[in-house]
Amino acid sequence: MPKVGKRVALVFLLILCFAIAPISEIGVVKAEPKTIVVPDDYPSIQQAIDSASVGDTVYVKSATYHENLVVNKSISLVGENVDTTIIDGNPPEGYRIPIKIQSNNVSVSGFKLLYGYAGITVGGVKFCSISGNRIAGNQHGISLVSSSYCNITRNYFELIGLSSAIQLSYSNNNLVTGNYIDSCTEGIQIREYSYGNTISENTIVNVSDAAVRLLYSNNNEVVENNVTNSGTGLIIYVSNNNTVYHNNFRNNTFQISTNEWYAQQWGYSFSNNTLNQNYWSNYNGTDTNGDGIGDTPYVIDENNQDNYPLMNPIVIPEFPLGSYC
């Protein structure tokens, strides 16, 4: 073979080798996730977040932090102890929001969030997880706006004063489960065209307004929740194709409200939803065949009733306070 031909063949062979070689062999190595510790590595949580890379964990030791965090990258934010790792949102200059989530795939757990305008806000993201936090004394609890496929699980709320402990707006396909809500103005609100959300196994007690509110939202599931000693157990307003199943409504001032007279003035039809096999503590029907289901429907109004009311409450897990971490 002529020398020129040999050179061409050698160059082609080298190009081929580089093309099929593992990336690590040509000097590109993906960094391993690391854990950044506050205050050991950085004095503030925000500084640690700013220095973190995607996939890292920011671990925060027990202390009280007066910060307003913005999480704008996919990381895990973990508090050392839910009772002693505190972010206080009420510094001298006024109310703030302890944690704002502004990126997909963020995880927040193990914090006590106090006295902010809201405990945590989540805006325009997907696949985030908020679990095992205590949120108290805020005006709002956790607020999701235009967010999807997020999990809000096993958080403890108390004394949320202005609005909902958990509120979803324009948010779809989220899971809200295993939360404990006590002595708040409102429990869980699904509003403004939110659909495909599952509200399950939450305990809501001593809420002054609505424990669960569906407002202009369709195709959600409210399943296996304990709702007790609240102003109104469930409010449905201009919301359709929602499923309300296997919940316990006990000793609420009003078990359920479907009063849509105002909406009728604007041309809306009565909401059409499925309510089946819930326990209503004020149901006075009988069960002659002993199957655990009342012989007559639990009548709410002329357009709504539970056709198969349960005679006894169902067993729904209620997590002790110490397990919310």
| Segment 137-175, tens digit of pLDDT | 998 999 999 999 999 999 999 999 888 999 999 999 999
pTM exceeds 0.85: yes
Q: Report the alpha-carbon distance of residue 51 to residue 241 in Å, rounded.
A: 46
The whole-number pLDDT of residue 116 equals 86
User: Which position has the token pair 């958080």?
Assistant: 155
Which long-range contacts link 100-105 to residues 24+ away (Cβ below 8 Å)?
A: 100/68, 100/69, 100/70, 100/71, 101/71, 101/125, 101/128, 101/130, 102/70, 102/71, 102/72, 103/71, 103/72, 103/73, 103/74, 104/74, 104/128, 105/74
pLDDT reading at 112 higher than 80: yes
The SS3 of residue 305 is strand
Confidence at 298, pLDDT banded by 50, 70, 90:
very high
The whole-number pLDDT of residue 301 equals 84
Q: What is the mean pLDDT of the chain?
A: 89
CB 111 within 8 A of CB 87: yes
Mean pLDDT in residue range 108-135: 96
pLDDT reading at 208 higher than 80: yes
Q: Report the alpha-carbon distance of residue 263 to residue 223 in Å, rounded.
A: 26
The whole-number pLDDT of residue 103 equals 98
Q: Pseudo-torsion of CA 259, 262, 268, 272, nearest 10°?
A: 0
Which long-range contacts link 259-264 to residues 24+ away (Cβ below 8 Å)?
A: 263/237, 263/238
CB 188 within 8 A of CB 211: yes
The whole-number pLDDT of residue 225 equals 98
**136 against 319, higher pLDDT:** 136
The SS3 of residue 199 is strand
pLDDT reading at 255 higher than 70: yes
CB 100 within 8 A of CB 71: yes
Helix-strand-coil percent breakdown of the chain, rounded to 5?
Answer: 10, 40, 50
The whole-number pLDDT of residue 43 equals 97
Confidence at 259, pLDDT banded by 50, 70, 90:
confident
The whole-number pLDDT of residue 319 equals 66
CB 156 within 8 A of CB 323: no
- CA 165 → CA 132, 141, 210, 272, 315, distances in Å? 14, 4, 11, 26, 23
Hey, what are 73's tokens?
A: 């990258």
CB 241 within 8 A of CB 216: no
pLDDT reading at 132 higher than 60: yes
The pLDDT tens digits for 172-205 are 999 999 999 999 999 999 999 999 999 999 999 9
The pLDDT tens digits for 226-240 are 999 999 999 999 999
The whole-number pLDDT of residue 29 equals 57
The whole-number pLDDT of residue 15 equals 41
The whole-number pLDDT of residue 24 equals 44
The pLDDT tens digits for 59-85 are 999 999 999 999 999 999 999 999 999
